[in-house]
Chains A and B, each alone.
Chain A
Amino acid sequence: MASIASPAIDNTIDIPGRRTPLVLGNQTYASVTHMVARISEEAQPAIWWIAFAIAFPLMLMFGGLIGYLILTGVGVWGNMSPVFWGWPIVNFVFWVGIGHAGTLISAILFLFRQNWRTSINRAAEAMTIFAVICAGTFPGIHVGRAWLAFWLTPYPSLNLWMWPQFRSPLLWDVFAVGTYASVSLIFWYMGMIPDLASFRDRSKNKWRRMVYGLLCLGWSGSSRHWMRYEKAYVILSALATPLVLSVHTVVSFDFAVSQLPGWHTTIFPPYFVAGAIFSGFAMVLTLLIPVRAIYNLKDLITPRHLDNMCKIILATGSMVGLAYTTEFFMAWYSQNPYEFFTFWNRAFGPYWWAYWIMFSCNVITPQLFWFRVFRTNTVIMWVVTIFVNIGMWFERFVICCTSLSRDFLPSSWGYFSPTWVDIGMLVGSFGLFTTLFLLFCRFLPIIAISEIKWTISQHAHSEHRYKHGHEHH
């Protein structure tokens, strides 16, 4: 029986010559299955119900507001000339950005053989799906006549007799986000199949067994199946890696391909992707820190996992900071008065407060993670991730609203103010996101059980080799 020795080990410290354990507390294969499966088998803790009682009505409110919007018209938003891309697009970019961490963790970290991803990839992928659902809602209702949003798809229409315009970044976006959502979903589902089979096989209840049995498609754990499954996983990772980078690149094209100062910059794609990873990891931490405490998963989601994520946040946060300063440098270096005005106006114009909220939350707060104290203290970590979430929302607000509010024609300059519907929808989208995540915790394997078991076996092998290596010396 493979198990991890050495209790109470601090796995944020690397031991030279040995693999650092990614699972703590003498876990066995059975104990891992139990630890994850019990979450959906036992009654949910009170805090789950409290969170659900808050999130669910907010989700209903979101639905209600969408109904109100559809029946009344987009005038219920604060979108007004010249700022026609107000909060709905800010929220869209915000949520899509958050939806980057999941696939990044499951695909890119997989290709780079970062085994620590196994404890967090499932929840991060779920988070990705739910964030993309929130994201997709906004452009869907932003088109004005939401019931005609299907016009975006290339279908032979008897009413229109025309086709989508493939030279527009907005249409690229439809394809990019659509592909990303569906590929992430199937990737997530495929990853869950073996764990759903674990759920099935532990079920005492006939109906539960049947539902999970259907969901896992009759997975038997045959080695032949595993072999093709593993191959499919590698291929999907290889496909999802460029995909995840392409999505926010295309989202940034929505801005960068336009002619507006402050948007029309070549730095946007990498800058957006770094920001997306940054915000995605922050959101993963925001969710997983409470989850590991509530469900007592500290042996699976160990300090090392949190520590690694903090380092990624630090790296990507600094990249984002570099992008902010590069934009300013280019505005000055280009000697283009309009470009320079735009950036000056961002930082010192009417939206200066938004700019400095963005800058301090995104660039300054993550610098705390240079210090190990902050990377190991979950409370501080959680607070920092909240700041990062706020900062990243404001980044999108700053990009969207400051550039638009200063039109080419000074007579049309304006100032964007949200309406109560704008605020309600942002809050409501958090309700939708949280509700979906809570239901995920309630019903599905929130940690990739089979992958954790593989890590345990790998660790046992490496410990074995290590010990034998010492014997020979």
Chain B
Amino acid sequence: MSDHAKPKKTPKPPKAHGWMAEYADDNQLLDAARKVKDSGYTRIDAFTPFAVHGIDEAIGIKPTALPWFTLCAGFAGLTVALTMEYWMNAVDYPYIISGKPYASWPAFIPVAFELTVLFSAFTTVFAMLGLNGLPRFSSPFFSNPKFDRTTDDRFFLWIGSSDKYFNSEKVQSLLTSTGALSVEEVREDDSPSDIPKPIIFAIIAGILVTLIPGAIVLNMRNAKSGESRLHVFFDMDFQPSRHTQTSTAMFADGRVQRPPVPGTVARGELGATDPYTLGYDPSQTVSTDSATAAAKLVSFQQDGEVAGDESKGAEASETPAVEPSETEPTDAEGVAAEEVTADPGAQPAADEAAPAAAAGVPNYAWLTELPVEANGELFELGRHKFEQHCALCHGYGGYGNGLVAQRAAELAQGYWLQPANLHDQAIEEQPVGRIYYTITHGKGKMGSYAASLTPEERWAVVAYVKALQRSQNAQPSDIPTRGDIAQ
């Protein structure tokens, strides 16, 4: 703020500060400045509305040290940034991210660059102001209203009274001789240089008010308090989640543990009701007594009460899949499921104890027809997969004489179970769904191929096994006649 707006109350004139000449043009100013300088004066300065080029030599202004400030600040910024990044990411809190080393110098470049610029830019501005002695709100030059035009359209040249050659009359006449519009004496500004009291109060009050929150926080940090802390934002401190075995108001039934959403598919159970992925039709597999019991158990666990009458439980369409059978299907249809039981161990080999039954192949309503179209592509895929996964045990012809089997025979170890001959009558008579099931779940020493073969590939292998069986037991009558081909 400049002070000359205030009325002057001083009775005696203030001390002289120098003489000031006014010009209308930068050229006139430059000429005058050169003349004044040539006359030997050193305490001179010019005041202009814009940076007049050439004035520096004209009045002998020495170059500024400002760039050195910038340079030092730039180096400081660079050093601070690199040290900070290295120390924070490689020393104090090292952890690996995106496979980069702790000290990833290339990744440190952007921040290092930004801080270099930030430090040097701010230093440049503040150093410029500091070297200029700004902010400075009171100065002898502001005491003359004429001087206001220096930021508008007038150029001023000043010779200071502190110059060693200063002589008031001589300076005045010298300045007049430079063709100045006017020449005036500058006097020290002796108007009260203090900042007006209301402003001081306002500033102090403002500072105090801004200190209050910080003071409260500091006080809170040091004091002990029995009260729980104030939560402006709850973040994740308070959640409606509950521990197991407790109740909640979130759900109508008040239970914390939630039953699975309808339609939930358990892991590995995708397509659990689809004959295509199972190899049998689960809807045709009729429940037995033990299945009903199992259903009851499940309904008890789910609802906390015994399910209604037995027949209802038996007919329930969502009867859980229990393993109902040990009985080897007697014919290719394999639907004789009425007598199956749930637990394989409970009734061992009740019927004709076929080898399959001993290994626990359940008795399902096996699919008897391929659920996929049997075409050349399918057989080709089946051959490929059979030779890849099955032939090493069962042999390329399916006789159970693959390389593994041959080697095992050489070793003659007692626990080795010969891979099945796929041309056994019993296996030949198996429905396609049953073979599919064997591939999916394995049997005895043979492991499951569900992980290596997709359902489609499994069906392809089944088709190939069937074709293999047919080919090894073909009759002359199987060879198509010319007429058949023609058809």
Chain A residues within CB distance 8 Å of chain B: 1-2, 28-30, 33, 145, 147, 154, 161-169, 171-172, 175-176, 178-179, 182-183, 186-187, 190, 194, 197-198, 200-202, 206, 209-210, 213-214, 217-232, 235-236, 239-240, 242-243, 246, 250, 253, 449-451, 453-454, 457
Contacts and interface: CB of A to CB of B under 8 A. Distances in A.
Contacts of A163: 88-89, 92-93
A32 to B, nearest CB: 9
Interface string B410-426: 00000000000000000
A239 to B, nearest CB: 5
Given A183-B121, A450-B49, A33 B152 contact: yes
Interface in B137-157: 137-139, 141-142, 148-153
A450 B122 CA distance: 22
Interface string B113-140: 1110110111011011101101111110
B111 A235 contact: no
Contacts of B136: 217-218, 220
Q: Which 10 A-B pairs have the closest CB atoms?
A: A29-B153, A163-B88, A217-B135, A232-B128, A201-B148, A172-B110, A213-B1, A30-B153, A198-B151, A167-B107
10 contacts: A33-B151, A147-B233, A190-B128, A201-B152, A210-B1, A213-B1, A221-B151, A226-B50, A226-B55, A451-B50
Contacts, number: 213
A80 to B, nearest CB: 21
Interface string B20-49: 000011100000000000000000011111
B246 interface: no
A226 B139 CA distance: 17
Given A218-B134, A221-B49, A229-B128, A29 B152 contact: yes
A182 B77 CA distance: 15
Contact of A232 (B24, B48, B66, B117): B66
A254 to B, nearest CB: 11
Interface stretch (B97-105, B275-283, B470-478): B97-105
Interface stretch (B56-64, B169-177, B285-293): B56-64
Given A166-B88, A201-B149, A232-B128, A246 B50 contact: no
Nearest to B236: A145
Nearest to A196: B151
A217 to B, nearest CB: 4
Contacts of A453: 49-50, 153
Contact of A165 (B1, B97, B118): B97
Nearest to A246: B113
B51 A230 contact: yes
Contacts of A236: 121, 124-125
Nearest to A184: B121
Nearest to B126: A186
B1 A232 contact: no
A176 B122 contact: no
B42 to A, nearest CB: 13
A240 B121 CA distance: 8
B316 to A, nearest CB: 34
A249 B129 CA distance: 32
Given A218-B136, A222-B46, A232-B66, A250 B55 contact: no
Most buried by B among A201, A223, A243: A223
Interface residues of B, number: 68
A276 B59 CA distance: 44
Nearest to A214: B1
Nearest to A146: B233
B153 A218 contact: no
B204 interface: no
A166 to B, nearest CB: 4
Contacts of A229: 51, 128, 132
A397 to B, nearest CB: 25
Contacts of B113: 242, 246
B354 interface: no
A1 B114 CA distance: 45
B382 to A, nearest CB: 29
A73 B174 CA distance: 75
B2 interface: yes
A105 B142 CA distance: 34
Contacts of B111: 166, 171-172, 175
Most buried by A among B47, B138, B235: B47
B378 to A, nearest CB: 27
A235 B48 contact: no
B108 interface: yes
Nearest to B130: A228
Interface in B189-239: 232-233, 235
B61 to A, nearest CB: 5
A19 to B, nearest CB: 15
A457 B132 contact: no
B265 interface: no
Contacts of B151: 33, 194, 197-198, 200-201, 219, 221, 450
A317 to B, nearest CB: 28
B116 to A, nearest CB: 9
Contacts of A183: 117-118, 121-122
B391 to A, nearest CB: 35
Given A166-B85, A214-B1, A239-B120, 16 more contacts: A166-B89, A167-B108, A172-B110, A178-B118, A190-B128, A194-B50, A201-B150, A206-B5, A218-B134, A221-B47, A226-B52, A228-B131, A243-B121, A246-B113, A449-B49, A457-B26
B2 A221 contact: no
B70 interface: yes
A246 B141 contact: no
Contacts of A162: 93
Nearest to B127: A232
Given A176-B110, A220-B47, A227 B56 contact: yes
Most buried by B among A200, A218, A220, A226: A220
A25 to B, nearest CB: 16
A457 B110 contact: no
B67 interface: yes
Contact of B64 (A209, A231, A243): A231
A262 B335 CA distance: 57
A465 to B, nearest CB: 12
Contacts of A235: 66-67, 70, 120, 124
B57 to A, nearest CB: 11
Contact of B121 (A2, A202, A239, A454): A239
B51 A198 contact: no
Given A147-B232, A194-B50, A167 B100 contact: yes
B84 interface: yes
Nearest to A240: B121
Contacts of A147: 232-233
